[in-house]
């Protein structure tokens, strides 16, 4: 997060937060006048509650989107769709991941190779096929009384369960999943050499 380009963070908040507020403001009059019951669904992320390493700006924007969702006007059913891992073009579409290269003065330079592979999305996680995800979400939203928070996508249930665990446990687990544990070991070894 400390090395993220502010302009890129602003783009994420524009896309994931301000767009929800702007769009909702335009449609609230129609939604409030619905005779059949209005339903508004915002696609946030499991990362809105999970401190996924190296995705701080994204996580923060999705957490803000989730909070906006919970504070939208009464009289409209608003659902927070917390999406987990889905096979998509997420990494290919990210401008910072097309050719991920650490800056020369990065805190993570000692673990450069591992870091850049993480940025490219080379993390060992399962991805739910997009078609399966879409079918499940449509089924959820087609219910007479869908829940206010829907968890869909691979690992979404795990994220929900982890939200009840102590932060230290979750943090350690996420380090292992993301490869940050290896980065941490490399950085500690480098610091150890400097103090010898």
Task: Clarify whether 58 is annotated catalytic.
Answer: yes
How far is Cα 53 from Cα 177, in angstroms, rounded to an integer?
9
Task: Clarify whether 143 is annotated catalytic.
Answer: no
Query: Annotated catalytic residue: which of 11, 35, 58, 82?
Result: 58
Query: Annotated catalytic residue: which of 11, 62, 77, 158?
Result: 62
How far is Cα 73 from Cα 37, in angstroms, rounded to an integer?
13
How far is Cα 125 from Cα 162, in angstroms, rounded to an integer?
16
Q: How far is CA 154 from the centre of its chain?
A: 13
How far is Cα 80 from Cα 141, in angstroms, rounded to an integer?
11
Q: How far is CA 27 from the centre of its chain?
A: 25
Q: Give the chain's largest Cα–Cα span.
A: 73
Which of 172, 189, 191, 190 lies closest to 53 in space, CA to CA?
172
Q: Are 16 and 64 in contact (CB under 8 A)?
A: yes
Angle at 137 between CA 157 and CA 169, to 5 degrees: 15
Which of 91, 77, 96, 146 lies closest to 121 in space, CA to CA?
91
* Residues annotated as part of the active site: 58, 62
């Amino acid at each position: 997060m400390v090395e993220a380009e502010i302009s890129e963070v602003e783009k994420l908040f524009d896309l994931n937060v301000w767009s929800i507020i702007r769009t909702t403001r335009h449609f609230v009059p129609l939604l409030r006048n619905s005779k059949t019951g209005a339903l508004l669904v915002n696609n946030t992320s499991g990362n809105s509650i999970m401190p996924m390493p190296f995705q701080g700006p994204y996580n923060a924007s999705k957490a803000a989107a989730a909070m906006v969702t919970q504070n939208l006007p009464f009289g409209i059913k608003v659902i927070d769709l917390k999406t987990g891992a889905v096979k998509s073009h997420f990494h290919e579409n990210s401008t910072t991941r097309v050719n991920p290269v650490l800056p020369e003065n990065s805190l993570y330079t000692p673990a450069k190779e591992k870091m850049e592979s993480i940025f490219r999305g080379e993390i060992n996680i399962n991805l739910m096929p997009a078609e399966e995800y879409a079918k499940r979400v449509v089924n959820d939203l087609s219910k007479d009384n869908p829940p206010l928070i829907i968890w869909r996508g691979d690992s979404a249930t795990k994220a929900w369960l982890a939200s009840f665990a102590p932060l230290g446990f979750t943090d350690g687990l996420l380090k292992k999943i993301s490869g940050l544990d290896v980065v941490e070991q490399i950085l500690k070894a480098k610091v150890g050499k400097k103090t010898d």
